Structure 1
Amino acid sequence: MELRRIGREPMATVLRPTAIIHPSRPIVQCSAVTAPTARRPLSHRSSPPTPRARSQHARIQQIRQLATTSTPQPPKPYTAPDLNKIHRRVQELSSSVLQPGPGTLPAEERVLYTLEQLEYLAKVVLEERGADSNPRAPAKEQKETATSALLGSVNARSYPAVISKASILNVISESAEQIARDPNVFVTPAILKAYVQLQSLLHQPSSFPDVFHLYSNKPIPSLKGSQVIYSPASPDQIKSAIPSDVAKEALGAAIEAHQLPLAIDIISTSYCTPSFKKAKTFKQATIPMAGLGIAPIAAYTLSTQFSNLQQTMDTGTATGIAFAGIMTYVGAVAMTGYVAVTTSNDQMDRVTWASGVPLWERWVREEERAAIDRLAGAWGFKDMDKRGEEEGEEWEALRDWVGTRGMVLDRVSLMPGME
């Protein structure tokens, strides 16, 4: 076996085969590989780090510590809203609508923007009032000397603010009411909804009946050249009806304020108007009535086609019999559905219809009955066992008013155990 030395200095050699034994090769060549030598350990007598290296290391450690540890941010100091600025802003918004300029009328978009801004300012003031109700750390009291106590120094006195939060809310409510009552402002459904939302937020629902009346009867302003002309409104038209969701929100605000006469006036100026009944008839009964109107034409067409498919009788006779049968079926189904819809009382709680009220009137006035039922439920006992025991001047007035509307409050035959 042949060995090779690697390097000049003598060192340990390791035999490593470089070829596999093969029958045709009698000799296996090997090469010498140096064995790995152990590394020399570092000397403990190495030179100490320089001051610059120590400062860099300390800076890196400080950066790592700041990056890994989160320091809580201090709370922002509480800043109360400036009531004077809010008051000036309310006056500016009101003037932009009430004084638009010569020969111009306030646009609907401008009125809506003003009401939205007033609602935002009202929320800011209301949130501030809620924050004031929470206990806070007492402020540092001023020291009072004997001289200031005798003379009543200015520093020891506390003067009330000129503009309070309650006065700001009253100004916002009055500004919104002035906008709604202004003869140059045409109250649209969107403006009416925004107004009701704002006054409900401020808990000032006393103007709702008058505004509802203005919505239906207010003269319509229009420009003719540089002059404003007012055309009379039609309170009985469909477009003069108070939207159902707006009336519902207004009634809820009156119930929350616990004002029974106001709630009755809201129902009278919204649900009880002829325009509201016409609007419901147009929206909900137009399609069924149109179907009943088309039914005879469709029945006659089908009867003519069916008469051509038979040979037992004359064509005219067969057409008449088929037409009568189809119309009888359609009429019976329609009448059954009409009676079922107009006589359903599962939704009634305390207020029901009196005997003798026509079925058509019951269906048209169902929203009115539901509103009165909601009002009675809010004023009466919530306990089922105590219903019928209510007393008082307001309750008796409500019972009498319900009777004048063709309804019955707490019908005895429908009470539990009185069937």
Structure 2
Amino acid sequence: MSKRLFKPRSDRQFSKAINTTPRTFTTTTRKRSSKSPKSTPFNALRQYSSPAHVRPSRHITEAELEQGLRRGIDACNRLFSETVASEKAILDVLHTCRLIAADVAGEPAKSSDTKKDVTAAASLLSLADRGSKRLRVQKLSRENQLLVDELSRALFSIVSHESVFISPEVLEVYISAQSCLGKPETFPEVFYMYANKPIPIEGSKGKQFKKQNPNKVNNAIPVAVADQALQTAIDARELDVAMDIVDTAYAQKSFRRAKFIRKGLLPTTGLAVAPFGAYIVASQLAMFQDSMEPGMATNIAFAGILAYMGFTTTIGIVAVTTANDQMDRVTWAPGMPLRERWIREEERAAIDKVAGSWGFDEEWRRGEEEGKDWDRLRLWIGNKGMLLDAVELMEGME
């Protein structure tokens, strides 16, 4: 198991290349504020990586794969050799490397000068291997494995460069490329840089940067990107990396704020304006009766409508926040506020996925896991206000 990139929250230290100064940048978009300089020409790479030239998956030889890896490494190394690269040039190189990485993650390469007899046993082993989550990089030649490692480092050097602005598209392509290579070790650090890395100001004299606010909604890691990164860490059996991905993506304040805006803002707004709508409806209903004064009828109708809406809303909120059918091994500890349960559900689901991947698959063996990694995982889950394998929720223990 690889060494963790991050230490516990109390004494976490990051790479020297990352500026850990508190951020106060308060703009609302992840865009550069000035015109971009002329990009370095990468015509061949743009043609190779354009959507019209996306290649279907195919069998390639080790020699072809080696050529592709060397081409990707050379493109990464030439990106900042002349001038400051534009975002378009960076994306062109990343898309090219993404296509090369897709070849790495494809079917096992067949050597052009060797042929093997196909037997029934070999076919069964091939099917079993194809169904497993092992990445093809483990089956490459030693030289190609070294090239894969070098390409992974070259990709990280691009996004960690001080003049590179990590936009959502850059982050998505980077995570996708590294996932195909089976290299999730840099994901937590890249997620941290995505929210904290100073943004370069283009067109200014000298190198100038403006700080970011890591808690800003636009600095939240997209859910699809975080899910892909977590799955890659699980497939690579990197427990420390998976835990760090949860801490740097799902557990961030910006991620929770983005969820509230995406899913909770509209219902909250409707709930806030509901009393005004209820009063208007009540005043109109009061005009259809003559048994009491309109003012009293309006108040009675308003109270009834408001009570109905309040009771129904309360029951709905409790039902949504206390639902546990989607929970497998990780549940909330008693006393956790309902608002926390809802806003942190993605974090709990990610932790549940990690626990399920490192534990026994058989339900009847759950609770028998042991070892340092499992004890550390249980302690980490407990520190987040969650329970691993709550006894009262296990099968047969109701």
Q: With structure 1 as the length reference, what TM-score do the two structures score?
A: 0.71
Q: Tell which structure's C-alpha radius of gyration is larger.
A: 1
Counterpart of 1:97, as a letter, is L
The one-character-per-residue Cα deviations of 1:296-329 (angstroms, maximum 9, x if unpaired) are 1111111111122222212211111111111111
The reply to whether residue 90 of structure 1 matches residue 90 of structure 2 is no
C-alpha distance in 1, partners of 2:98/2:280? 60
The reply to whether residue 175 of structure 1 matches residue 154 of structure 2 is yes
List gaps (5 residues or longer) in structure 1: 1-77, 139-162
Counterpart of 2:155, as a letter, is A
Q: Which residue of 2 aligns with 1:206?
A: 185
Counterpart of 1:184, as a letter, is S
Counterpart of 2:96, as a letter, is Q
Contact 1:350 1:409 in 2 (8 A): yes
Deviates more, 1:355-364 or 1:85-94: 85-94
Q: CA deviation at 1:98?
A: 2.5
What's the Cα RMSD here?
Answer: 2.4
Contact 2:66 2:144 in 1 (8 A): no
Q: Which residue of 1 aligns with 2:275?
A: 296
Contact 1:87 1:168 in 2 (8 A): yes
The one-character-per-residue Cα deviations of 1:119-158 (angstroms, maximum 9, x if unpaired) are 22334456696214995279xxxxxxxxxxxxxxxxxxxx
Question: How do 1:86-125 residues align onto structure 2 when only pairs under 5 Å count?
Answer: 86=68, 89-99=71-81, 101=83, 105-124=84-103
Q: CA deviation at 1:86?
A: 4.2
Q: CA deviation at 1:96?
A: 4.6
The reply to whether residue 361 of structure 1 matches residue 343 of structure 2 is no
List gaps (5 residues or longer) in structure 2: 1-59, 118-141
Deviates more, 1:82-91 or 1:218-227: 82-91
Question: How do 1:1-400 residues align onto structure 2 when only pairs under 5 Å count?
Answer: 81=63, 86=68, 89-99=71-81, 101=83, 105-124=84-103, 130-132=109-111, 136=115, 164-400=143-379
Over the matched positions of the two proteins, sequence identity in percent amounts to 42
C-alpha distance in 2, partners of 1:271/1:403? 16
Secondary structure of the equivalent of 1:391? coil
Secondary structure of the equivalent of 1:416? coil
C-alpha distance in 1, partners of 2:214/2:113? 49
C-alpha distance in 2, partners of 1:117/1:209? 23
Relative distance call for 1:410 and 1:87 in structure 2 (3 A) is closer
Contact 1:125 1:165 in 2 (8 A): no
The one-character-per-residue Cα deviations of 1:308-365 (angstroms, maximum 9, x if unpaired) are 2222212211111111111111111111110110000000011110000000000000
Secondary structure of the equivalent of 1:280? helix
Q: Which residue of 1 aligns with 2:32?
A: none
Counterpart of 2:76, as a letter, is S
Aligned residues: 316
C-alpha distance in 2, partners of 1:264/1:79? 36
The reply to whether residue 413 of structure 1 matches residue 395 of structure 2 is no
Relative distance call for 1:386 and 1:126 in structure 2 (3 A) is closer
C-alpha distance in 2, partners of 1:301/1:236? 39
The one-character-per-residue Cα deviations of 1:22-49 (angstroms, maximum 9, x if unpaired) are xxxxxxxxxxxxxxxxxxxxxxxxxxxx
Relative distance call for 1:330 and 1:197 in structure 2 (3 A) is same
C-alpha distance in 1, partners of 2:107/2:227? 29
Q: CA deviation at 1:190?
A: 1.2
Relative distance call for 1:209 and 1:286 in structure 2 (3 A) is same
Counterpart of 1:277, as a letter, is R
The one-character-per-residue Cα deviations of 1:40-96 (angstroms, maximum 9, x if unpaired) are xxxxxxxxxxxxxxxxxxxxxxxxxxxxxxxxxxxxxx9764678546533442145
C-alpha distance in 1, partners of 2:281/2:258? 34
